[in-house]
Structure 1
Amino acid sequence: MRPEPGQVLHFSEDPTITRFVPHVAKTAQQPEAYVWAVDHGRSPDYWFPRECPRAMAWTGAGTTAQDRDRIVGPGGGERVHAVEFGWLEAIRTVKVYAYRLPAAAFEPFGGPEHHAHVAVEPVMPLGPPEPVGDLFALHAQAGIQLRVLPNLWAFWDAVRASTLRFSGIRLRNALPR
């Protein structure tokens, strides 16, 4: 599930949203109110239940072959997502929806290599929410490894110390170190 040209996506487990209103998220690191969305490249970050902790890594311009092979694995593609065993059932059964939103209403957020898009005015979806479907199948179709670990922290520490690009979402929900 990726946006089409001129669109960004908002992923949610709530299929009843008719209007997105800027708000300050409970976990926000900034005081401004935003509507959040993602583009094509960052959509896979949200192919999970909302509260699922996940550690993600992918190759970038500065990634060394050694780090790629050590963390992603030889012949393993360019991207890997890691979750904990305790989340497998939720990943299998959750119903995630994608809302298509007009990209023109949003600005990139997160520095030169932005990780999201934000709007400061209310935004109407371009249509009804679309069921995202089988999250495992989405990963397979995109060629993204989905690694299942007893605990995320050793993987996360290795990724952060590498030359790979990375993102960690809802890591506060991961098992303790």
Structure 2
Amino acid sequence: MRPRPDEVLHFSEDPTITLFRPRVAATARQAAPYVWAVDSARAPDYWFPRDCPRALAWAVPGTTPSDRDLILGPGGGDRVHAVESGWLERMATVELYAYRLPAGPFRPFGAPVAHAVVATENVAPLGPPEPVGDLPALHRAAGIQLRPLDNLWEFWDAVVASSLGFSGIRLGNATPRPPDDAAPDPAA
């Protein structure tokens, strides 16, 4: 599910939205109200239930062969989406919808590389929302590895230290980091 030319997408579990109004999201790091959407390159970042924590990594022009093999895996394609195993059932059953929006009112958001597009005015969808369908199948069809993990943090730490492009979404909802085995036992 990707936008057509001159469109952006907004993904939601709510199929009843008739007008997108700028607002400050509960998880926002900025005070300005926006309508949020994504372009074709970032659409796969949102092929998940809304609150699902995920760690995403993809090859970029400066990706080293060793980082590619370590994180993406040999023959693993150019992109991997890591998700906690406990979210797989929800991924298989969620009813996710894509709203097609006109690209005109939107501008890139994020630095140094835009990770979304935003509008500061009301935006009406171009039509009714479209069911996204089977999310694991959508990943397979796009050649994106969907990697279930018990905990995201070891993977995330490796990704952010690598030469890959990456994004972490809803990581605040992730299972906490495992205790550091190397930490001294305070009872000892």
TM bin, normalised by shorter chain, reads over 0.9
1:35 aligns to 2:39 (yes or no)? no
Render the CA deviation track for 1:12-61: whole Å, top value 9, x for unaligned. Answer: 00000000000001111111000000000000000000000000000011
* TM superposition score normalised by structure 1: 0.99
Q: Residue in 2 aligned with 1:53?
A: 53
Shift of residue 105, structure 1, vs aligned partner = 1.0
Alignment partners' CA distance in 2, 1:112 and 1:158: 20
Q: Residue in 1 aligned with 2:3?
A: 3
Alignment partners' CA distance in 2, 1:112 and 1:87: 30
Report the 3-state secondary structure (helix = DSSP H, G, I; strand = E; otherwise coil) of the residue aligned with 2:104. helix
- Give the share of equivalent positions with the same residue, in percent: 71
After superposing on structure 2, the runs of 4+ consecutive aligned residues of structure 1 that deviate more than 6 Å are none
Q: Give the letter for the 1:155 counterpart.
A: F
Q: Give the letter for the 1:94 counterpart.
A: V
Q: Please give the residue correspondences for 1:1-177 in structure 2 after superposition, counting only pairs within 5 Å.
A: 1-177=1-177
Q: Give the letter for the 1:35 counterpart.
A: V
Shift of residue 112, structure 1, vs aligned partner = 4.4
In the alignment, structure 1 segments of 5+ residues that lack a partner are none
Render the CA deviation track for 1:72-106: whole Å, top value 9, x for unaligned. Answer: 01111000000111101100100000000000110
Alignment partners' CA distance in 1, 2:153 and 2:111: 26
Shift of residue 111, structure 1, vs aligned partner = 2.4
How many pairs are equivalent?
Answer: 177
* TM superposition score normalised by structure 2: 0.93
RMSD of equivalent CA atoms: 0.6
Q: 1:112 to 1:160 in 2, by over 3 A?
A: closer
Report the 3-state secondary structure (helix = DSSP H, G, I; strand = E; otherwise coil) of the residue aligned with 2:8. strand
Alignment partners' CA distance in 1, 2:109 and 2:73: 30
Alignment partners' CA distance in 1, 2:112 and 2:157: 24
Report the 3-state secondary structure (helix = DSSP H, G, I; strand = E; otherwise coil) of the residue aligned with 1:11. strand
